[in-house]
Amino acid sequence: MIDMPSGIEAEVCADIASRQARGIVKYGTTVADNPLSLKEWLEHAYQETLDTAVYLKRAIREIENTTVTMGDSSDNVCGWKIYKVNRCDWFMAETIGDAESSALRYYNGDDEMIEAIRQLDAHDLNRLMFSLTDDKNGPKITFREELRRRVQERWTKAEMFASTEQ
């Protein structure tokens, strides 16, 4: 004798029974009695799977956005910070001195390219968007997400982080 499921398994069984009842009302038949061809069943399952992927991606984004909003109130990722050095360029560094040195190297010693260097705060890291492609309409992530990605890749030196110049 097989015991009746309990807990999560019982909930899933109840969901299946409820879905079957709705399907019979909507389509007038059970899955077992439905005359669709195997290809039609596979196409239907494929479309449902695509919907599932969309729902999962949306849920992942919601979790990421909640984490950024609620959990990322620091102005750095593992000690790495972003510094704005002029109206269009940002540098990744551990200290303001490292950011300035990196910027001077990048600008070939032209210190006129450096304005008042300012470290981005937590709000800026969560608000400013980083383009993943050269297409301005392409995918974007927050500065924090890109900084986190670079830290995870073990970047080890101060360098140019982003620029709005084309």
Count of structural domains, the chain:
2
- Residue at 112 is within a domain: yes
pLDDT band at residue 90 under the 50/70/90 scheme: very high
Q: Tell me, yes or no, whether 49 and 118 share the same domain.
A: no
Q: Are 130 and 90 in contact (CB under 8 A)?
A: no
**DSSP run (H or E) holding 140:** strand 140-142
Q: Tell me, yes or no, whether 113 and 144 share the same domain.
A: yes
- Residue at 142 is within a domain: yes
- Residue at 16 is within a domain: no
Q: What is the dihedral of CA 153, 164, 141, 53, to 10 degrees?
A: -110
**Which of 65, 86, 85 minimizes the C-alpha distance to 145?**
65
Checking if the pLDDT of 81 tops 90, the result is: yes
Domain boundary among 18, 51, 71: 71
- pLDDT of the residue at 121: 92
**Which of 88, 76, 74, 68 minimizes the C-alpha distance to 151?**
76
Q: Are 146 and 96 in contact (CB under 8 A)?
A: no
Q: Which residue has the higher pLDDT, 127 or 165?
A: 127
Q: Are 102 and 158 in contact (CB under 8 A)?
A: yes
Q: pTM of the full predicted structure?
A: 0.56
